[in-house]
């Protein structure tokens, strides 16, 4: 119920992994729904800026679940990432 969701958010808020961002490597694609009310854009932007060669895709008309709200665009971004591995 609501209390469980609250407790989950409290734990997530305390889970800071910024000290591990430097371990990420390209190829990396970050996909953001610009209407996501729960995650500030600074989160993805910080990772994007810390990982040279990463790609940051911002999708309008999508919130916290862009894979459900804009599946074709999310699939395209993933397909482009995979194509770049060849």
At 6, which CATH number?
3.40.50.1820
CA 33 to each of CA 38, 39, 43, 52: distance values in angstroms, whole numbers, following the listed order: 11, 9, 12, 22
Q: How far apart are CA 21 and CA 6, in angstroms?
A: 26
Residue 25 has pLDDT above 80, yes or no: yes
Domain count, the chain: 1
Give the per-residue pLDDT at 35: 96
Give the per-residue pLDDT at 19: 87
68's enclosing H/E stretch is helix 66-69
Give the per-residue pLDDT at 49: 94
Q: What is the pLDDT of residues 1-17, one digit of tens each?
A: 788 888 887 887 787 88
Q: What is the pLDDT of residues 48-58, one digit of tens each?
A: 999 999 999 99
Structural domain harbouring 71: 2-83
Q: Record the pTM.
A: 0.80
Contacts of 52 (CB under 8 A, 6+ apart): 26
Backbone angles phi, psi at 57, to 5 degrees: -105, 120
């Amino acid at each position: 119920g609501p209390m469980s969701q609250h407790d989950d958010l409290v734990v997530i808020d305390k889970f800071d992994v910024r000290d591990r961002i430097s371990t990420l490597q390209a190829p990396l694609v970050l996909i953001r729904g610009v209407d996501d009310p729960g995650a500030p854009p600074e989160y993805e932007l910080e990772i994007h800026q810390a990982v040279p060669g990463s790609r940051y895709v911002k999708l309008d008309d999508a919130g916290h679940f862009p894979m459900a709200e804009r599946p074709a665009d999310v699939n395209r971004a993933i397909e482009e990432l995979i194509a770049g591995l060849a």
